[in-house]
């Protein structure tokens, strides 16, 4: 099956898809993005992802050339052309190509890029769970915008890998924990499901929001000390769904293996949204 791309509405093989070196996405990370997936060949929560994209675009005053309805049509077409059993779709909209200057270009046409690949199943991670470390939250002050400025996320993820862990959790100096490098955080304390509240310090995940609706999880600040004492922790995202965390900074969480609540939330999530995979 072909890995394909779509640039400004035109479909082509992924390896032939090129963007100009003076694209502002490349030069300034002046761009926002979304990650979509399919279940059984159908896009999951496409409207919710497009709404968040619209919020991100407005937040950086970027007016794209395509309406949400047109973007949805392109996504459907991309899924159809690639025809992977389960697909991962990456969409980025940048402010376009312009002579490098930090001022907003008057005439640049925004660049729309969509890429489609086969989605790797998160099933192995649900079996083993993942280990995380906590890192100081040095990200910018608007983590609610799905900005492509992910350098700090990249560095934190790599610090985790070097420390023998799988991911990192961003933590303020006062110990408040916000989210992982590409996913949201839930903890289980005395049977209660808790997730940090939406706000500028984290990206409100579509997966997180669905799980809050499904489970009635409490949204309130979470401290690092609570993590270490939690019965269970799990991370959520479009691609990972719900993956249990078995250790934080080298300390086991609960018995140090994937717990029943994370598995139950995953089951409830896929039963509701993924046709019971």
**Within 109-138, which residues bind ligand PDD (CB under 6 A)?**
none
- Determine the Cα–Cα distance for residues 79 and 86; give it in Å rounded to an integer: 9
Q: Binding-site residue total for ligand PDD (CB under 6 A)?
A: 14
**Is the Cβ of residue 108 or residue 208 nearer to ligand PDD in the bound state?**
208
Cα 169 versus chain centre, distance: 14
Residue 203 binds ligand PDD, judged by CB under 6 A? yes
Tell me, what DSSP letter sits at residue 124? H
C-alpha dist (Å) from residue 137 to 132, 229, 248: 14, 21, 16
From 146, 192, 201, 223, the catalytic residue: 146
Q: Is residue 42 annotated as part of the catalytic site, yes or no?
A: no
C-alpha dist (Å) from residue 13 to 5, 38, 78: 6, 20, 11
Residue 237 binds ligand PDD, judged by CB under 6 A? yes
Residue 206 binds ligand PDD, judged by CB under 6 A? yes
Among 239, 249, 274, 277, binds ligand PDD (CB under 6 A): 239
Rounded to a whole number of angstroms, the minimum distance from the CB of residue 148 to ligand PDD is: 9
Residue 215 binds ligand PDD, judged by CB under 6 A? no
Burial class (CB in 10 A: 0-12, 13-18, 19+), 24: buried
**Within 34-53, which residues bind ligand PDD (CB under 6 A)?**
35
Rounded to a whole number of angstroms, the minimum distance from the CB of residue 35 to ligand PDD is: 4
Rounded to a whole number of angstroms, the minimum distance from the CB of residue 100 to ligand PDD is: 26
CB atoms within 10 A of CB 200: 11
Residue 168 binds ligand PDD, judged by CB under 6 A? no
Tell me, what DSSP letter sits at residue 65? S
Rounded to a whole number of angstroms, the minimum distance from the CB of residue 255 to ligand PDD is: 27
**Is the Cβ of residue 131 or residue 208 nearer to ligand PDD in the bound state?**
208
Tell me, what DSSP letter sits at residue 49? H
Exposure letters 69-99 (e unless 16+ CB within 10 A, then b): eebbebbeebbeebebebbbbebbbbbbbbe
**112 strand-pairing partners:** 93
Rounded to a whole number of angstroms, the minimum distance from the CB of residue 55 to ligand PDD is: 12
- Determine the Cα–Cα distance for residues 134 and 143; give it in Å rounded to an integer: 17
Tokens 């890995």: give the residue. 3
**Within 177-196, which residues bind ligand PDD (CB under 6 A)?**
179, 182-184
What are the residues binding ligand PDD (CB under 6 A)? 35, 179, 182-184, 203, 205-208, 236-239
Residues labelled as active-site residues: 146
């Amino acid at each position: 099956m072909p890995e394909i791309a779509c640039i400004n509405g035109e479909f082509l093989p992924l390896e032939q898809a090129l963007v100009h070196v003076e694209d502002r996405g490349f030069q300034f990370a002046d761009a926002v993005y979304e990650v979509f997936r399919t279940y059984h060949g159908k896009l999951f929560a496409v409207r919710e992802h497009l709404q968040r994209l619209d919020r991100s675009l407005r937040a950086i005053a970027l007016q794209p050339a395509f309406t949400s309805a047109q973007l949805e049509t392109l996504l459907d077409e991309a899924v159809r052309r690639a025809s992977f059993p389960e697909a991962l779709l990456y969409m980025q909209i940048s402010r376009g190509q312009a002579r490098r200057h930090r001022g907003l270009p008057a005439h640049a046409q925004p660049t729309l890029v969509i890429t489609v690949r086969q989605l790797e199943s998160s099933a192995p991670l649900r079996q083993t769970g993942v280990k995380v470390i906590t890192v100081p939250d040095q990200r910018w002050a608007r983590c609610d915008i799905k900005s492509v400025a992910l350098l700090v996320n990249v560095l934190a993820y790599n610090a985790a890998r070097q420390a023998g862990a799988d991911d990192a959790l961003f933590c303020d100096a006062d110990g408040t924990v916000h989210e992982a490098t590409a996913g949201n955080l839930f903890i289980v304390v005395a049977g209660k499901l808790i997730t940090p509240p939406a706000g500028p310090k984290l990206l409100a995940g579509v997966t997180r929001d669905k799980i809050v609706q499904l489970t009635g999880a409490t949204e309130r600040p979470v401290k690092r000390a609570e993590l270490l004492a939690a019965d269970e922790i799990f991370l959520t995202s479009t691609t990972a769904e719900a993956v249990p965390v078995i250790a934080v900074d080298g300390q086991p969480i609960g018995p140090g293996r994937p717990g029943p609540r994370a598995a139950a939330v995953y089951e409830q999530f896929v039963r509701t949204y993924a046709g019971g995979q």
